[in-house]
Structure 1
Amino acid sequence: MRLRTPVRIGSRMLGGGNPPLLLPDIDMFFNADIAMAQHMVKAVRDAGLTIIKAAVLHDEAIALNCGTMETFLDNRGRPVTVDYRRLISKKVISKDEHRRLFRFIQDTGLELVLSVYDLEGLNLAVDSGAVAIKIPSSNITHQPLIAAAALAPVPLIVDTGKSTMVEIARALEWAAPARERGLIVEHSPEAPPAPLARHQLMMIPRLAETFDLNAGLSDHHHGNEMMLAATALGAVVLEKGLTVDDPDSDQDVYHAMRLSDLKPLRRQVEMIYDALGDGRRTRPSDRPVPHSRMGAVAARGLSTGEMLSLSNVGFALPPLGVGAEHWPIIEGWQARREVAAGEPVGWEDIEPPS
């Protein structure tokens, strides 16, 4: 994937050949339990990460009380159907509780990326010192919110889950003013976890090329393998929900990573990124020729003036004689002196025919 202009998210530079950002998302997984949220924040810090993602969800009225039902997989992968308004309501906390939580996060030494669902939440996120704003996939059609977020003084991340390319193009057009500060587009496979064939990870480079943006992954796989694959595909952000190791059944918990995943996953991402390299292969001039290559040897004793052919020259390792890659040049040359059978045939032993 072609390198693009890097985007600064807080203290991190993303894209342009920089390592990807592993972005654990506590979102509202703590269900208004601030002590649990603080425990998760400390675990992120202790895992050696520097940026965490959360959300601003302060008003249950964003979900109508109209009897709409939502189905998700519980923590054992079994379908559960609940009232959508109730599901949202139990996650809502007040603006003041958000502010206190965000201050705690920052006092812990972490920088903060925030998902927003309404204009009040956007203002709170900016006022709270978020280093980036995210438009969640549910709001990819929310023109007023995207347009306002695009004018915020920090970079913008747009999640594209459950959307068409037309909807993505339209949302990114609304978000265009954010390109000046940094705009990242995220591929987001469907949740509940989609079958592997529908994860479509090749959308990551496609989104990057189509819209000339740095692209990332919002992961909804049951397991962490997709984030490793996305690292190899050039994703600049690897975002995934985060929950405690033994969570209660709740929305999105089935495909969230556990606190104990953080340290090993961070190391795996770092190893894969380091292994990618820069796509170039050169051999330093001072590096010796590998011993495993072959050089010319006398297949039988060579007489002075004898012409070289595959009947009297063989090849053996290490390459003490003329390298085998030079055979098209030296075939038909003649021996300047006698060379015993099995001995290397060096440049000093041969000459062009007279």
Structure 2
Amino acid sequence: MSHSVFFIAEAGVNHNGSLDLARRLVDVAAEAGADAVKFQTFKAENLVTASARKAQYQIDNTQEDGGQLAMLRRLELPHEDHEALLEHCRTRGIAFMSTGFDAESLALLGQLNMPAIKIPSGDITCGPLLLQAAQLHQKLIVSTGMSTLGDIEQALAVIAFGLMHSGTPASRAELQAAYSSPEGRQALRDHVTLLHCVTQYPAPPSSVHLRAMDTMRDAFGLPVGYSDHTLGLEVSIAAVARGATVIEKHFTLDRSMPGPDHAASLEPEELKELVRSIRVVEQALGTAIKGPAREELDNRRVARRSVVAARPIERGEKLTLDKLAYKRPGEGISPMDIWFLADRPARDDYQVDELIAP
């Protein structure tokens, strides 16, 4: 990933199990200018039990009660469809990504040369998947919804161990040793980006607390981004202004489509506008150096002032403050030096408003 904001258009499960719909989502993401389009890869039986209930937002958004298993079966992206989507992404000039929710899916994704492996918020406490992802030795984007700093630290300890070792940890002490070691910290810096996130669809802006991005950056010394589940564009744009290096945002072809995530997703024109706005903001961020921009230099002469004669002055006449004024343009002595001209003899004759010579 480059130094600019890496924008992930999150298609997720908004393909509703249709490869054709998934291809259309790739087209929309590419036309919007996203860096990557991301799906979700899982086998429903490997992810949830038959008794697992839906989250309330899933019930609200699907307008039906029931369990996760039946819902997720309808939303699976078959493994055999991945190559077709990967090829379509190559054709459209956009990177393919997907989140793996089980060991089999993660192994498949590890072979696809994606820009990064994404760890979803729900799996930040799933040690085996964290370890498996780390041992792929690829870039990792770790979403932190529902997490405390302690949760994140434990996850990073597993990841650090996995980046350094091929086996499994024998104790928590071994994980902590990997996390605390200079080698482990460097491995994390080389591989991991953390995403601030609020796991609610949609998330109210009052729940977001973007300042938590600063807290995570300071606590772990890692790049930080934002996975946005709010409605609208504003919060993602604000996250970029606050230093997010990655933005992830759900999108759909039509918010009225059936499914758990469509209602909290952007439609195509909104996605395009968000990417455009982020590119403007990242340009505006520039550097931390405070100084005149190149485009301002000519304007300094127009907007700043110079010391001028307030009334006619004869050569050799003693200058006093009542004989001087300060007016535009800024092509002469700065008014910051006006006090130091007092009691000097005038070097020339001056008419009203003429610049005083240095």
What TM-score does the superposition give when structure 1 sets the normalisation length?
A: 0.84
Pairing partner for 2:122 from 138, 154, 173: 138
Is the Cα–Cα contact under 8 Å of residues 308 and 333 in structure 1 kept in the other structure? yes
Aligned partners of 1:308 and 1:227: how far apart in 2? 58
Partner of 1:36: 21
Structure 2 residue matching 1:290: 3-state secondary structure = helix
The verdict on how the C-alpha distance between 1:159 and 1:344 changes in structure 2, with shifts beyond 3 A counting, is: same
Gaps in structure 2 of 5+ consecutive residues: 164-186
Farther off after superposition, 269-278 or 259-268: 259-268
Deviation at 1:82, TM superposition (A): 4.3
Pairing partner for 1:226 from 220, 226, 235: 235
Deviation at 1:136, TM superposition (A): 0.2
Aligned partners of 2:100 and 2:12: how far apart in 1? 10
Deviations 1:20-78 (A, max 9, x none): 01110111111211111111112222333342211211233411111624211789x89
Structure 2 residue matching 1:291: 3-state secondary structure = helix
Pairing partner for 1:307 from 315, 318, 337: 318
The structure that is strand-richer by fraction is 1
| Superposed structure 1 runs of 4+ greater than 4 Å apart | 77-82, 286-289
| Aligned pairs (5 A) from 1:146-165 | 146-165=130-149
Is the Cα–Cα contact under 8 Å of residues 74 and 253 in structure 1 kept in the other structure? no
Pairing partner for 1:336 from 334, 347, 354: 347
Structure 2 residue matching 1:158: 3-state secondary structure = strand
**1:68 counterpart letter in structure 2:** R
Pairing partner for 1:192 from 187, 195, 201: 201
Is the Cα–Cα contact under 8 Å of residues 121 and 199 in structure 2 kept in the other structure? no
Deviation at 1:324, TM superposition (A): 1.0
Aligned partners of 1:194 and 1:299: how far apart in 2? 62
* 2:346 corresponds to 1:346: no
**1:344 counterpart letter in structure 2:** L
Structure 2 residue matching 1:36: 3-state secondary structure = helix
Aligned partners of 1:52 and 1:67: how far apart in 2? 28
Q: What's the C-alpha RMSD, in Å, of the aligned pairs?
A: 2.6
Deviation at 1:207, TM superposition (A): 1.6
* 2:34 corresponds to 1:25: no
Deviation at 1:81, TM superposition (A): 4.8
The verdict on how the C-alpha distance between 1:38 and 1:247 changes in structure 2, with shifts beyond 3 A counting, is: farther
Aligned partners of 1:320 and 1:94: how far apart in 2? 70
Structure 2 residue matching 1:46: 3-state secondary structure = helix
Farther off after superposition, 131-140 or 200-209: 200-209
Deviation at 1:134, TM superposition (A): 0.6
Structure 2 residue matching 1:19: 3-state secondary structure = coil
The structure that is helix-richer by fraction is 2
What TM-score does the superposition give when structure 2 sets the normalisation length?
A: 0.83
**2:151 counterpart letter in structure 1:** E
* Identity between Structure 1 and Structure 2 (%): 25
Is the Cα–Cα contact under 8 Å of residues 70 and 83 in structure 1 kept in the other structure? no
Aligned partners of 1:263 and 1:50: how far apart in 2? 12
